[in-house]
Amino acid sequence: MALYAQTTGSHSTNAPTWTPIPGLSLTIPEGVGTTAIITLNVPMPYATGDANPGGTFGVSVNGAVSPVVAGFTYNEPVPPSFGRVPTTLVVGIPLGNAAQAVQAVWYGVRGSTVNIDSPASLSATF
């Protein structure tokens, strides 16, 4: 079985803490003894700012953010251009006795603004 969600349009955040990525949520079914492989693919994000800008990406399960995260920062404090930084996160989530809500989350690093202007996706396979 597989589940899939994809963003539409452009999104950005300068939140200093985890915030949901619009359109990227799934509900994984119950299934004790099975692990869901959750993949968050953000193929063309970029960040703007003046303190080594970057972004951090994760997934929350029933509101609790997994400690496994992905992210990027630029090497320069103020990059001459804000190039695209493909970012993918893969997390194994054990299925439980009940369905679980999975939400992609993100935040800006050091006050930067993270931008998505191409489709990003969240998928689950069992």
DSSP state of 111: T
Class of the domain covering 2-125: mainly beta
Closest CA to 87 of 103, 73, 77, 76: 73
Whether the Cβ atoms of residue 59 and residue 120 lie closer than 8 Å to each other = no
- pLDDT for 31-65, tens place per residue? 988 999 999 999 999 999 999 999 999 999 999 99
Q: What does the pLDDT read at residue 1?
A: 82
Beta pairing, strands 121-125 & 35-42: antiparallel
Q: What does the pLDDT read at residue 111?
A: 95
Q: What pTM does this model have?
A: 0.95
Q: What does the pLDDT read at residue 94?
A: 96
For the chain, give every domain's residue range.
2-125
- pLDDT for 66-105, tens place per residue? 999 999 999 999 998 889 999 999 999 999 999 999 999 9
Instruction: Tell me how long the chain is.
Output: 126
